[in-house]
Structure 1
Amino acid sequence: MNHKKNSLVFWIALLAIAFSALSVSAQSDMTRCDAEGGCARIEPGDTIKIGVAGPITGEYAMYGQDITESQAIAIENLEPIEGFGWELLPEDTLGSAETAVAVANKWITDPTFVADAGNVFTAESAAVIPIFEKAFIPMMSPSATGANLTVDNDVFNRLVFQDSAQGAFAAEFILNTLKFSKVAIIHDGGDYGKGIADTVVSTLRDAGIEPVAYESITAGEADYGAVLAAVASTKPEIIYYGGFTAELSVLLNQKAQFGLAGTPIFSDDGAFGVEVLEKAGANAEGLIGTSTVPGESEAKLAFDAEYEEKYGRVPGSMSSFAWFSYDTVQVLADRIRSVAFVGEDGNLYVPRAELVKAVRTTSGFQGITGEITCSEVGECNASGPTFYRVVDGKWEIISE
């Protein structure tokens, strides 16, 4: 009898020590929320929220739709953290930086909001970086390529390669693979299009080649005849265009009227996809484009099949950012999981400053796009661009 009593006392004491240790651990974890930025707090029954903002409707909807739909698949595939599930907050900005700012200011008032998985465009991203920097909200963009976005901040990170890298690759491809030296430049005046075009220009000049023309168009117009006439007068071998699908389609449909039918246009990843083929039809033949489509793998094939089953089209048909979009959510969730803890009150806490650092120091994460490791400034891209040409109405990889 005494033996049984002593045994019971032993187990009660052991449980008391265990509960005490857990309580001390929970209290110790809570001190992490005293750091600058505090903690995101998710109560039982609520969700861990990740946002994405971009044009889901309007002229540039193909980018926002493709990105948010790919990220919706990623969210569905995430395992809960200690019973707390996930939620994607897609917001339609129509591509407007002003709207993106309003969305960001709304998000940061939500204690369950923990990360931004993409402001789709460069201008949007640049506008919200100061807001998220102050609120300790990490960003991981699948598509914003502006070269200066990773300068002088701790929160902006991206999986896609930046404009300067894309522009340099394109210029070298024009010179070394296509063997053209008479290059005309057209851009849409935006941060993204002009940024890439200017890098093409600087890379050409570094190689001793001066562009024969450098012209800007106004986005959203239906007639670029004056610009095409000016370019045609210089007799270029190729035209490099920095910008998006809508304006590129107009240039393709009008260039033959100015004696440029046989002059190919080379464009960026912002204009890659099926939309330009639909808008330009036969006039897109010979168009050269840039894509970020990753190499084949079991993970990519599984995603491709899930995407097609869910949306009735193949990934990459609307934009080249589908795979990067999936990976942004997966990376952010992995980093959130690495710092989150459950408090004594049963709430899930995510120390914000710790999460910003955890995202920036991502290393060796295996995603669809490759092994993802972020540099000290947040460049996390795993692969470079691939160049395509439109042949018989379809994009085909150009073999060097």
Structure 2
Amino acid sequence: MSTSFRMPSIVAALGLAGATLLCTAHAQIKVAMVMPTTGPLTQYGDMVKEGVTTAVEMANAAGGVGGKKIELVAIDDACEPKQGPVAANRVVNAKIGYVIGPVCSGASIAAAPIYNNEGVVVITPSATSPALTDGKNYQFIFRTIGRDDQQGPAAAKFIAEKAKPKKVAVLHDKQSYGQGIASSVRDDLKKAGINVALFEGINAGDSDYSAVITKLKGAGVDFVYYGGYHPEMGLLLRQAGEQGLKVRMMGPEGVGNPEVNAIAGPAVEGMLVTLPADFSANPRNAAVVAAFKDKKRNASGAFQLTSFAATQALLAGLKAVGDNPAKVAEYLHKSTIDTVLGPVSWNKQGDLNSFDFQVFQWHKDGGKSPAAK
């Protein structure tokens, strides 16, 4: 099967700053990938792009949707909340009715009102903050990943039942995603009777966390949970090791990036991380994994297969009701769709009815393995 795929040609088009058009010669249905192509979190954009592109290649090779090919438009939001609405307006101005993304929660939350008001179907494969959908009554916003109030309890349960620390510090990056997941973990640890000695924010983008390392040492903690992304987690790991702080550290899927190894060095060994289950290990996905490998892509990363599933869901809607965003959104709300994640369905606010987060142990060679304790 893998030999039947071909990469879409890359052409300059749209006349949009920050937009790249990936298309086939007969592309007729446009789908935007809203993701970071600049800034410190571009690796997550790469993961999403791999998943979406692979799914679209497979669909186009099989004839597209109703004989129409899918055209991918990459639009940069740098994972920045301020850039989320800018990217959304680019999508709307380009008359694109479908988005896979945005990737980060902050940018997603900021952009969602525009997409929903303009009737653009959005399926994010990676934004986990409950604030994206809670109480919003959106009709066009969906996810193919679980929420932080599903991920947080999975992390807290592992910490309480497997790691069994005496005293825990919970840190976060003061942003929607990081602070939200950290608060969820803190609350569940307290319910489990775990001593949370410190709950504190750090400044994302800083290069020196020695002050917080000193505070952690003074608090006598033996476990640190960090809510945020890999650049800060890598520095916390490395600087803790340099300053003789011997603690286990854990983070959400935002730290599960091979780039954390380059920042943390050997100190990354044993980092714990909650991630979507490794759907690439499921035998039923063998053909999809082979398609990734054929293009030298990695199907086992944090967001590649949630992105593939988001594309599968969108394409299922297009095949069922045609190129009509309102009808596609209605179809998704009432349907169960078979994807690489298994059967997926959504509640009335666009969140998945169920999702499997698991705990992995990170290794200094960039690999990961299921965590036992």
- Does residue 355 of structure 1 match 2:339? no
Partner Cα separation in structure 2 for residue 108 and residue 299 of structure 1 = 37
Partner Cα separation in structure 1 for residue 207 and residue 364 of structure 2 = 26
Structure 1 partner of 2:132: 149
Partner Cα separation in structure 1 for residue 128 and residue 247 of structure 2 = 27
Contact 1:160-1:381 within 8 A present in 2 as well: no
Partner Cα separation in structure 1 for residue 36 and residue 101 of structure 2 = 11
Match of 1:334 among 298, 316, 322: 316
Q: CA deviation at 1:246?
A: 0.6
Among all aligned residue pairs of Structure 1 and Structure 2, give the percentage whose two residues are the same amino acid: 27
Contact 1:197-1:242 within 8 A present in 2 as well: yes
- Equivalent positions of 1:288-299 (< 5 A) are 288-292=272-276, 293-294=278-279, 296-299=281-284
Please report the RMSD computed on the Cα atoms of aligned residues, expressed in angstroms.
Answer: 1.9
Q: CA deviation at 1:383?
A: 3.3
- Does residue 90 of structure 1 match 2:74? yes
Q: State the one-letter code of the partner of 2:332.
A: V
Structure 1 partner of 2:7: none
SS at match of 1:97: coil
Q: CA deviation at 1:139?
A: 1.1
- Does residue 324 of structure 1 match 2:306? yes
Structure 2 partner of 1:130: 113
Match of 2:343 among 371, 390, 394: 371
Contact 2:280-2:299 within 8 A present in 1 as well: no
Q: State the one-letter code of the partner of 1:70.
A: G
Q: State the one-letter code of the partner of 1:377.
A: Q
- Does residue 315 of structure 1 match 2:299? yes
Q: State the one-letter code of the partner of 2:152.
A: G
Q: State the one-letter code of the partner of 1:62.
A: Q
When residues 371 and 74 of structure 1 are mapped into structure 2, their CA distance, relative to the original with a 3 A threshold, is same
The Cα offsets for residues 146-187 of structure 1, whole Å up to 9 and x where unpaired, read as 012122222211111101111111111100121224110111
SS at match of 1:389: strand
Q: State the one-letter code of the partner of 1:220.
A: G
Q: State the one-letter code of the partner of 1:55.
A: P
- Equivalent positions of 1:224-373 (< 5 A) are 224-260=209-245, 262-292=246-276, 293-294=278-279, 296-310=281-295, 312-316=296-300, 319-340=301-322, 350-363=323-336, 365-373=337-345
Match of 1:389 among 356, 361, 365: 361
Contact 2:280-2:286 within 8 A present in 1 as well: no
The Cα offsets for residues 216-251 of structure 1, whole Å up to 9 and x where unpaired, read as 111111101111111111111200011111111110
Contact 1:143-1:160 within 8 A present in 2 as well: yes
Q: CA deviation at 1:97?
A: 2.3
Structure 1 partner of 2:205: 220
Structure 1 partner of 2:184: 199
Partner Cα separation in structure 2 for residue 381 and residue 298 of structure 1 = 23
Partner Cα separation in structure 1 for residue 198 and residue 90 of structure 2 = 44
Partner Cα separation in structure 2 for residue 396 and residue 309 of structure 1 = 24
When residues 381 and 314 of structure 1 are mapped into structure 2, their CA distance, relative to the original with a 3 A threshold, is farther
* Unaligned stretches of 5+ residues in structure 2: 1-24
Q: State the one-letter code of the partner of 1:99.
A: Q
TM-score (norm 1): 0.81
SS at match of 1:379: coil
SS at match of 2:97: strand
- Does residue 59 of structure 1 match 2:32? no
Partner Cα separation in structure 2 for residue 77 and residue 180 of structure 1 = 47
Contact 1:115-1:139 within 8 A present in 2 as well: yes
When residues 184 and 73 of structure 1 are mapped into structure 2, their CA distance, relative to the original with a 3 A threshold, is same
SS at match of 1:221: coil
Q: State the one-letter code of the partner of 2:49.
A: T
Partner Cα separation in structure 2 for residue 135 and residue 123 of structure 1 = 20
Q: CA deviation at 1:140?
A: 0.9
Q: State the one-letter code of the partner of 2:361.
A: R
Partner Cα separation in structure 1 for residue 206 and residue 364 of structure 2 = 28
Contact 1:117-1:142 within 8 A present in 2 as well: yes
When residues 71 and 313 of structure 1 are mapped into structure 2, their CA distance, relative to the original with a 3 A threshold, is closer
Partner Cα separation in structure 2 for residue 356 and residue 226 of structure 1 = 48
When residues 185 and 286 of structure 1 are mapped into structure 2, their CA distance, relative to the original with a 3 A threshold, is same
Partner Cα separation in structure 2 for residue 300 and residue 282 of structure 1 = 33
- Equivalent positions of 1:13-92 (< 5 A) are 47-78=28-59, 79-92=63-76
* Unaligned stretches of 5+ residues in structure 1: 1-43, 341-349
Q: State the one-letter code of the partner of 1:81.
A: V
Q: State the one-letter code of the partner of 1:189.
A: K
Partner Cα separation in structure 2 for residue 381 and residue 278 of structure 1 = 36
TM-score (norm 2): 0.86
- Greater CA radius of gyration, 1 or 2? 1
The aligned length equals 342
Contact 2:34-2:103 within 8 A present in 1 as well: yes
The Cα offsets for residues 366-398 of structure 1, whole Å up to 9 and x where unpaired, read as 211111111222122653111112356442211
Q: CA deviation at 1:56?
A: 1.8
Contact 1:370-1:383 within 8 A present in 2 as well: no
Q: State the one-letter code of the partner of 2:257.
A: G
Contact 1:232-1:258 within 8 A present in 2 as well: no
Q: CA deviation at 1:299?
A: 4.4
Contact 1:71-1:329 within 8 A present in 2 as well: yes
Structure 2 partner of 1:19: none
